[in-house]
């Protein structure tokens, strides 16, 4: 069944115009739950309560406001917001062409497939092949849903794909993340770490080799509940113990061949989970102390998250 487009427009750069159609590239599945009344099982409905008047407010009695200071708002009527929206021209303006390897994945927000619209087939394929030959990605601006979106257009298979990306002030600097102290590792530690990577190495990323096991468990539990069966609660997972980093690497390398071919992601064994002691990373709940004193390494003792 052919994909159904969700929009259309025109790619524009220089004097070139390419009519295109926009298609959804991916949509999350997962599982979702509804909030029910514990007493009767009825589905709950959301209401908006005004804390000032202590009354439930209908949508027809609401206006949008922007908080410009603490608890201070300016109100906007619908027609005022409409006037602020980007002009709906349907034009995707390509402003720059940059090396593909300079794009940081953290900026990508959403992805859409681009296909040629009537009369744009030849120019569409020419742009795709030219970008691929030059190893370049186009940076552009596309107005959609009343907002100016920063986008990237890159060659994809035999065509083009569009990525909506975050603006610079929407992405937090990695410098804000505490990555711990500096460590010097023994040659044997680096050798074992590299060996573990090699044992789990694959020629390419294949998402079809993985599955959402949580969703599968939920669907199976739903079927059992519908059939009137009782669902047993899972036992608490064992706490990870802090062990010597070198010992953890040795055990991981020894056990890797048995798990390397598994198509699904399996939970790591407690003893194979590592965490560097003394590092000033983000605060996390610490595992309870074991009755047996854990062995410690030189610079990097480790425990599991």
Structure confidence by residue, pLDDT tens digits, 187-220: 988 998 898 888 888 898 888 888 888 888 888 8
Whether the per-residue pLDDT at 303 is higher than 70: the answer is no
Domain count, the chain: 2
Segment among 12-16, 38-42, 109-113, 155-159 with least mean pLDDT: 12-16
218 occurs within a structural domain: yes
102 occurs within a structural domain: yes
Q: Which two tokens stand for residue 92?
A: 């995707």
Whether the per-residue pLDDT at 305 is higher than 50: the answer is no
257-277 average pLDDT score: 44
Whether the per-residue pLDDT at 52 is higher than 50: the answer is yes
Which H or E run includes 12? strand 7-13
Task: Give me the percent of the chain exceeding a pLDDT of 90.
Answer: 45
- 115 and 165 in a single domain? The answer is yes
- 106 and 155 in a single domain? The answer is yes
Q: Which residue has the higher pLDDT, 244 or 25?
A: 25
37 occurs within a structural domain: no
- 221 and 111 in a single domain? The answer is no
User: What's 140's domain CATH number?
Assistant: 2.40.290.10
Q: What per-residue confidence (pLDDT) applies to 257?
A: 60
Q: What per-residue confidence (pLDDT) applies to 90?
A: 80
CA gap 154, 136 in Å, rounded:
7
113 occurs within a structural domain: yes
Q: Which residue has the higher pLDDT, 239 or 51?
A: 51
Range of the domain at 244: 187-232+239-302
Whether the per-residue pLDDT at 121 is higher than 60: the answer is yes
| pLDDT tier, 240 (very low <50, low <70, confident <90, very high otherwise) | low
* Mean pLDDT computed over every residue of the chain: 82
- 154 and 244 in a single domain? The answer is no
Whether the per-residue pLDDT at 47 is higher than 70: the answer is yes
CA gap 180, 183 in Å, rounded:
9
Tokens 């410098």, residue located: 175
What dihedral do alpha carbons 239, 240, 243, 245 form, nearest 10°?
-170
- Concatenate the DSSP letters of all residues of 110-123 into one string: EEEEEEE-TT-HHH
């Amino acid at each position: 069944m052919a994909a159904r487009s969700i929009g259309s427009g025109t790619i524009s750069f220089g004097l070139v115009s390419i009519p295109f159609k926009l298609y959804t590239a991916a949509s999350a599945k997962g599982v979702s739950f509804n909030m029910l009344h514990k007493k009767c099982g009825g589905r709950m409905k959301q209401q908006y309560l005004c804390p000032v008047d202590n009354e439930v407010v209908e949508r027809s009695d609401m206006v949008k406001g922007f908080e410009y200071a603490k608890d201070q708002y300016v109100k906007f009527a619908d027609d005022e917001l409409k006037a602020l929206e980007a002009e709906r021209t349907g034009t995707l303006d390509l402003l720059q062409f940059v090396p593909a390897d300079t794009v940081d994945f953290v900026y990508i927000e959403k992805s859409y497939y681009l296909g040629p619209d009537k009369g744009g087939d030849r120019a569409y394929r020419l742009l795709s092949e030219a970008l691929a030959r030059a190893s370049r990605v186009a940076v552009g601006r596309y107005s959609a849903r009343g907002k100016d979106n920063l986008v990237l257009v890159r060659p994809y298979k035999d065509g083009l794909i569009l990525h909506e990306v975050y603006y610079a002030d929407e992405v937090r600097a990695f410098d804000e993340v505490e990555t711990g102290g500096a460590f010097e590792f023994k040659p044997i530690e680096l050798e074992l770490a590299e060996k573990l990577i090699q044992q789990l190495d694959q020629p390419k990323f294949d998402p079809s080799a993985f599955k959402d096991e949580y969703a599968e468990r939920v669907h199976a539990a739903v079927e059992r509940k519908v059939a009137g069966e009782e669902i047993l609660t899972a036992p608490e997972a064992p706490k990870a113990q802090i062990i010597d980093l070198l010992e953890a690497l040795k055990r991981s390398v020894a056990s890797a061949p048995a798990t390397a071919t598994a198509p699904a992601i399996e939970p790591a064994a407690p003893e194979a989970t590592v965490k560097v002691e003394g590092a000033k990373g983000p605060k996390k709940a610490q595992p309870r102390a074991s009755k047996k004193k854990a062995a410690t390494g030189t610079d990097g003792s480790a425990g599991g998250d």
